[in-house]
Amino acid sequence: MMNSYLDAAVESICESVRIDSSLGTKTANAPFGQGALDCLTHFLSLAERMGFETKNYDGYVGEVVFGDGEEDFAILAHLDVVPAGGGWTKDPFGGIIEDGKIWGRGTMDDKGPAICCLYCLKALKDKGFVPRKKIKLIVGCNEECGWGCIEHYKKVAALPKTGFSPDAEFPVIFSEKGILQIRFHFPVEHAPFTFLEGGNSVNMVCDYCEAKPVTLTLSRAKECGLEVKNKKLVSYGKSAHASTPEHGKNAILPILRYFEKKNEQIRYLVECLFEDKFGLQEVHDSIDCLSLSPDTVKYRKGEIQVVCDIRYPASFEERRVYDMIDSFGVKYETVSSQNPIRVNKNSELVSTLLSVYEECTGESAAPVSIGGGTYARALECGVAFGPEMPGDEPVVHQPDEYISIERVQLLLDIYEKAIRRLTE
């Protein structure tokens, strides 16, 4: 039974959460900042104490190896996190346990699941299980901001062809939308402000934005739901994952609303990015629809730069999205791009994971599609598998992120059975 590993797993998750592993300043030994390196070191040290072979690939990504079969099987997780953002009632890096939950950034995305998978490997090892495939638990440090970790891994090691990523939802994710992060440059002549900036991350709904207007009108600020601090307009929103912007409240829009009556170019920006003037969000196939989330904004040298996170259905070609944003008639460049994936629903990988989920939960289920992007798309045949359950309160990339201890126990059960059946 995995119960004997629960307390240790919970403590290890708390330790990891106390390390702020959001993107930091690059150094010679820490390509994604000291916090990410410290978190990687903590994880690999934990695995070494369990008796596993580990590898640290130059601070970009780490690996825990179990077994010596000729074929490889991958579990791909990440240790980096998005910035905490505002709105927390708990310490985002406190790793405290309260109300049966571990609170903090990364508990659900993705430190908690990564550590659960590590303890599942330990449980299998302790039971004398010998996998017919070499299992590689690969933990990256740059999943949230560009995937530099996986690109480095591909240069220095051999990435398995098959596996899963514990970084999304149950029951099984067989399809993930394509992802484009685009920086738009909207020109603004005679800008009615001298400063405008907001957003923490390009894959996180903006929860704070501020601007310094040339002329401050208190009645207009109140009408737009803005606060005034030190002659600046301040807008508060609610963060959420950019793949589900409907779960958040974007703080950029109220600021732009304040200025749109004074400047037609700002009004046009609002029409393009918030009112869907060109119908991007009407794009859909039989499974998914396109989403667009304007996540960061700043004013520089006569233009408003907005980075938008766009998720499009797997059956669509990337070129079709570019054709539509060309209609905006403004300069833009691609910040990052990830192709969609769609795995056969009847494949051995999907059917095995689905059967494990049904056995552990007692629920009948079918594979689903998501807008989120996971490491699964780095594999020839990869899917995402947990940790969120249908009907969960959304907490990923939001304030007061948590994972319940009950969920940790379930993950230990599910992942242990899944790893065994896929490698025995």
Query: How confident is the model over 51-103, as pLDDT tens digits?
Result: 999 999 999 999 999 999 888 999 999 999 999 999 999 999 999 999 999 99
The helix (run of H) or strand (run of E) holding residue 170 is none
Contact 330, 182 (CB under 8 A): no
What is this structure's pTM?
0.86
Mean pLDDT of 163-177: 97
Q: Do domains 3-176+341-423 and 178-338 have the same CATH topology?
A: no
Q: 178-338: what fold?
A: Alpha-Beta Plaits (3.30.70)
DSSP conformational letter for 394: P
Domain coordinates in residue numbering, the chain: 3-176+341-423, 178-338
Query: How confident is the model over 347-391, as pLDDT tens digits?
Result: 999 999 999 999 999 999 999 999 888 999 999 999 999 999 999
Rounded Cα–Cα distance for residues 111 and 163 (Å): 18
DSSP conformational letter for 244: -
Rounded Cα–Cα distance for residues 247 and 205 (Å): 9
The burial class, CB within 10 Å (0-12 / 13-18 / 19+), for 243 is buried
Q: Which two tokens stand for residue 225?
A: 């739901």
Contact 113, 166 (CB under 8 A): yes
Residues annotated as catalytic are 80, 143
Q: Which two tokens stand for residue 407?
A: 């969920």
Rounded Cα–Cα distance for residues 108 and 169 (Å): 11
pLDDT at 402: 98
The helix (run of H) or strand (run of E) holding residue 286 is none
Instruction: Give the architecture-level CATH label for domain 3-176+341-423.
Output: 3-Layer(aba) Sandwich (3.40)
Give Cα 94 distance to the centre of its chain: 20
Contact 402, 103 (CB under 8 A): yes
